[in-house]
Amino acid sequence: MCVLVVTGCSDEPSPEPAGHTHSGGASVSLPVGDGTARYEVGYEMARVGLPERAGTAGELTFRILYTGRAQTRFLFEQTKKMHVYVVRDDLAVFRHVHPEMTEDGTWKARLTLPSGGGYRVVAEFVAEDDGGNGDHLILGDTIYVAGTTTPAPKPPTRQADDGIVQAAVNGDGSVGEQGRLSITVGRAGGGGVRLGTYLGTYAHLTGFAESGAMVHMHPLGSPEPDAGGSQLQFHSAFAQAGRYRLFVQVRVDGLVHTVPVAVTVR
């Protein structure tokens, strides 16, 4: 199992209410794109770069263009102006990165990848248009990283843990824009956990279909206690049926834990 654990502070803003909340009260619709294409409705993810070799620190770089020109105005989505997901093509490696933008519109972040292979770089952002409204996009490109490719671990199951935090999917997902998905988060081996906030909410959930399509799910309200820990409800918008790998990210005891679990969407 590939689990990313990142240290972090717990003094984040209060969780956002259900739905999308963006700076400036902008009107934003559901995202366009699923990360499998570089181009959508005039926007392009261009000049994508990753560290040349696995195990060596390097840079994640890219630019967002709109009708061929650098897009430099963005709105906050879950406390950040840019969310980037770097996933190996077999979903065995996952990184969630928040790069910073330079004056010319280039986004950059330091990054080290543990193994070689093909990686999909998926950018999720809300670009501000001339009217002050937001265009919510999910764009992606595939980059090859040199180095030894480690064998993929066993596929995740409905319930998994990283030795500290356990996540379990309750039931199946359903195709459609108004779906719901329930996940219980507890302590590995049994017992409840106190969830802090991460990116302004109690959990961040990123899913990938076997086809590579990405879906980002938002929590609905506060966690509710149940027998296995804390139950979280998510708004889901699965476009297609099939098997998905979900990366559940939560803050427990001041640290962000990432636990991959599986769900079947019908």
> Is there a single domain that holds both residue 138 and residue 163?
no
> Is there a single domain that holds both residue 139 and residue 212?
no
> Is there a single domain that holds both residue 52 and residue 133?
yes
Number of domains in the chain: 2
> Is there a single domain that holds both residue 26 and residue 141?
yes
Among 145, 175, 194, the domain boundary falls at 145
pLDDT at 70 over 70: yes
> Is there a single domain that holds both residue 135 and residue 163?
no
145-166 pLDDT, tens digit per residue, is 999 999 888 888 999 999 999 9
Q: What is the CATH number of the domain that holds 207?
A: 2.60.40.3340
For residue 110, give every residue at least 6 positions away whose Cβ sits within 8 Å of its Cβ, in sequence order, or none: 57, 58, 59, 60
> Is there a single domain that holds both residue 81 and residue 141?
yes
Among 106, 123, 145, the domain boundary falls at 145
Task: Determine, yes or no, domain membership for 244.
Answer: yes
Q: Which domain holds residue 182?
A: 159-265
In this prediction, residues 130-136 reach a mean pLDDT of 92
Task: Tell me what pLDDT residue 30 has.
Answer: 80
Task: Determine, yes or no, domain membership for 38.
Answer: yes
Task: Determine, yes or no, domain membership for 3.
Answer: no
Asked if residue 74 lies in contact with residue 127, where contact means CB atoms within 8 angstroms, the answer is: yes
> Is there a single domain that holds both residue 110 and residue 177?
no
> Is there a single domain that holds both residue 132 and residue 165?
no
164-198 pLDDT, tens digit per residue, is 999 999 999 999 988 999 999 999 999 999 999 99
Among 89, 114, 145, the domain boundary falls at 145
Find, among 254, 245, 255, the residue nearest to 2 by Cα: 245
pLDDT at 15 over 70: no
> Is there a single domain that holds both residue 30 and residue 141?
yes
Q: What is the CATH number of the domain that holds 56?
A: 2.60.40.10
**What average pLDDT is seen over the chain?**
89
Structure tokens at 170: 């309750």
Task: Tell me what pLDDT residue 136 has.
Answer: 97
d(CA 119, CA 85): 10
d(CA 183, CA 266): 17
> Is there a single domain that holds both residue 181 and residue 127?
no
Task: Determine, yes or no, domain membership for 185.
Answer: yes
Task: Determine, yes or no, domain membership for 54.
Answer: yes
pLDDT at 28 over 70: no
d(CA 122, CA 174): 23
> Is there a single domain that holds both residue 212 and residue 237?
yes
> Is there a single domain that holds both residue 35 and residue 136?
yes
Task: Determine, yes or no, domain membership for 4.
Answer: no
